[in-house]
Structure 1
């Protein structure tokens, strides 16, 4: 992280809308390293759980941090997250299109329900008006 969190701008790549803001980062190492390479590293300040169970902002002590960096450096990875960007971009576009179609469909359903309710109310009002007319035309008997 090389700058502050900017809460006025959101990243478009989150699958869920519960996160907000973004911050700049500088990548030092970009490669896929399986969690299994790190599970043996335990964090005393996190109930001695493996580092792979850590969450955002979990502090990692110097000794464990150096061990993690050594694993990153030495691991011979054939892939990296950069290889996956096209896949995730396409998946996100598909997700956004589906969301937009659902919104349009929901709006159409709301319009149909509103039209149905309006027609029903109009029908009821017309029926009441006709009943009133019928009552006026009944001849009085003497």
Structure 2
């Protein structure tokens, strides 16, 4: 009897359109209100997946905002890689590298995909910046999302 009641409650809750039952990507915000980080996050990682990045981060309801150069190409090129520790080859720093191809400095916020641990990067004009997103044991591959500040 209890099992029937619980399954009925779960079905009713999942079928109602409330914010509490949205996917995790819809619940994570690109930044605090007024912080300047807005728009749908861009997704990157150290490996290619079978699903498109747009599918992984849906439900925010806003368009992607990117700084662009005179020809309409995005100014920032953001990539990630894993760097093994010298003292322990099974520990990896997850490093995010951002390169700016425009004269204006750009601030971005980078997080693990659908995660809460974030780092901010101030990428100088025509420069590059790298930051450690986190450290994981025996995990080389990771995915991240980033949002540019406007």
Between the two structures, name the one with larger relative contact order (CA 8 Å, sep ≥ 6).
2
The TM-score range, normalised by the shorter chain, is under 0.3
Query: Greater Rg, structure 1 or structure 2?
Result: 1
What is the TM-score when the length of structure 2 is the normalising length?
0.20
Q: Which has the higher helix share?
A: 1
What is the TM-score when the length of structure 1 is the normalising length?
0.21
Q: Which has the higher strand share?
A: 2
